Amino acid sequence: MVTETEAGALRRAFNDLRWTLVRIIVGVVLVMAAMIVLVFRMDPSTGKDAPAVPLPPVSAPILPSPTTIVSPIPLPD
């Protein structure tokens, strides 16, 4: 026979399990919703994330040319 304290412990254990499962399901649903939003924001022609505001064209190269040698140590002639 199950005593009152054992029944209360079982009830609390199943209640904790139920709320844990609810949290997991809600988390999975939120992650799926975020992924769906990201997929619909993509630019279908490039497959990349479409910017919210069009970026201005870059007029100057950001990196130096590959022939430029930058060395902190003086090189011999």
Within-domain flag for 58: no
Chain centroid to Cα 58, Å, comes to 28
Tell me if 39 sits within 8 A of 30, measured CB to CB: no
**Who wins on pLDDT, 38 or 71?**
38
Q: Is the pLDDT of residue 69 over 70?
A: no
Which domain, by its residues, includes 27?
Answer: 1-50
Q: How far is CA 39 from CA 35, 42, 43, 47, 63, in A?
A: 6, 5, 9, 9, 32
pLDDT digits (tens, 9 = 90+) for 11-58: 999 999 999 999 999 999 999 998 888 777 766 666 666 666 666 666
Kindly state whether residue 17 falls inside one of the protein's structural domains. yes
- Tally of domains in the chain: 1
Going by C-alpha positions, the residue among 37, 63, 72, 32 that lies closest to residue 52 is 37
In a domain, 2, yes or no: yes
- 37: in domain: yes
